[in-house]
Amino acid sequence: MKKNDSFFIEKGYFGRFGGIFVPETLIPALRELEKAFFKLSRDKKFQKNFQYYLTKFVGRPTPLYFAENLSKKLGLKLYLKREDLCHTGAHKINNAIGQVLLAKKMGKTRIIAETGAGQHGVATATASALMGLKCRIYMGKEDMKRQSLNVFRMELLGAEVIGVDGGSKTLKDAINEALRDWVTNVYDTHYVLGTVFGPHPYPTMVKHFVSVIGKEAIRQIKKVSGRLPDVVVACVGGGSNAMGIFYPFLDDKNVELVGVEAGGVGIEPGKHAARFAGGKVGIFQGTKSYVLQDEDGQILTTHSISAGLDYASVGPEHSYLFETGRVKYTYAHDDEALSAFYLLSKEEGIIPALESSHAIAYVVKNADKLKNKIVLINLSGRGDKDVMQVRELMNKNE
Ligand SMILES: *Cc1c(COP(=O)(O)O)cnc(C)c1O
């Protein structure tokens, strides 16, 4: 191994987590990507261009909203970072724009991505349309059935959506298929991964593109309250919206950081996606992190009311922050998230994504402990995509 190789690989670690666990054929592509990313992340012109699209296209800075009604009800000071107001409805567009812009600078002409519920697919198709690049999205056939509206959206945006038939026909199978495509077409193709997951440099690169959330929030909350918040809360799927808001706060040790995973319908195997409550360290889809797996290392099925949190592993840096104790990880059950979904809608006139509802549920559950504190929630997305599902659940329960 050349000296450069070991340097390249060492950089991808967060303590004992992270790294690069991919077929040999992908190593040159990852190295090329890392080089381009580290160069452009320091390039003023590139950053200015990225800022331009964040401002004019995405709608940044997103507001920091004081949720007055819910604050009164819960006896604390609740601020919402309104990522639900981003173009396409969630924080995911920040990363998609960053990566597609990077791909274009690298001279790539073709974009591929995986998607579960379709949110990352829509964000990537949007960014590709904007930058004039060809786009193909891999999506499990089961997910295509459940999220047909998002499939149509991606097609309207000019993307080709490929149904994946293997395995459970869901997100992890779509990731495998996207990686296969990338191996074959690396010379002209960039793979836009949707969260702080996968092999280096993805966790670091995605963090870079989404940490605008936390940087803005620090500026905004200092301006309205004269100080930093006591607690910052975010839901954790792969972990990008959480990393986006946590990262700029990491050095402020007085700010408590709380990540909320999907507790599903119970904490037994197969019924949740709470990796830190039920997982073990393992290697999955290119990286080393906490994984929900059985005794033999087989990946367990997961369940959550929210598709965006329904995944067997979690970004490697979160595993590091879990073991060092800097971030506290807990979970909210489906029914708690659903109650929080209703509560924010009625109290504040904001219908949240079911994913973000997990973060709200934590604050509701712990209101006594949080009395009079300044609490900041990353409201990662809006609930428009979830209202049909919630209506069906309501009808079933009647
Ligand atoms: C995809 C998604 C998530 C989960 O992904 P992270 O990478 O954990 O942020 C959370 N909230 C919303 C609204 C999403 O669309």
pLDDT score of 112: 98
Q: What is the mean predicted confidence (pLDDT) over 366-375?
A: 98
- Among the atoms of ligand 1, which is closest to the Cα of residue 242? 9
How close is the Cα of 332 to the center of ligand 1, in Å? 15
- Mean pLDDT for the chain? 95
How close is the Cα of 309 to the center of ligand 1, in Å? 7
**How is residue 325 written in tokens?**
């104790």
Based on the residue annotation, tell me whether 92 is a catalytic residue of this protein. yes
Of 122, 126, 241, the residue with max ligand 1 atoms within 8 A of its CB, to mutate for a pocket test, comes to: 241
- The pLDDT tens digits of the residues spanning 197-236 come to 999 999 999 999 999 999 999 999 999 999 999 999 999 9
313 C-beta closer than 6 A to ligand 1: no
Asked if residue 2 has pLDDT above 50, the reply is: no
307 C-beta closer than 6 A to ligand 1: no
Based on the residue annotation, tell me whether 256 is a catalytic residue of this protein. no
Residue (of 95, 123, 63) closest to 385 by Cα position: 123
Euclidean distance between CA atoms 273 and 90, whole angstroms: 21
- The pLDDT tens digits of the residues spanning 82-140 come to 999 999 999 999 999 999 999 999 999 999 999 998 999 999 999 999 999 999 999 99
pLDDT score of 4: 47
Q: Which of 77, 92, 172, 385 is catalytic?
A: 92
Based on the residue annotation, tell me whether 177 is a catalytic residue of this protein. no
pLDDT score of 8: 54
How close is the Cα of 221 to the center of ligand 1, in Å? 23
Residue 397: band (very low, low, confident or very high) from pLDDT cuts 50, 70, 90: confident
pLDDT score of 170: 85
How close is the Cα of 362 to the center of ligand 1, in Å? 16
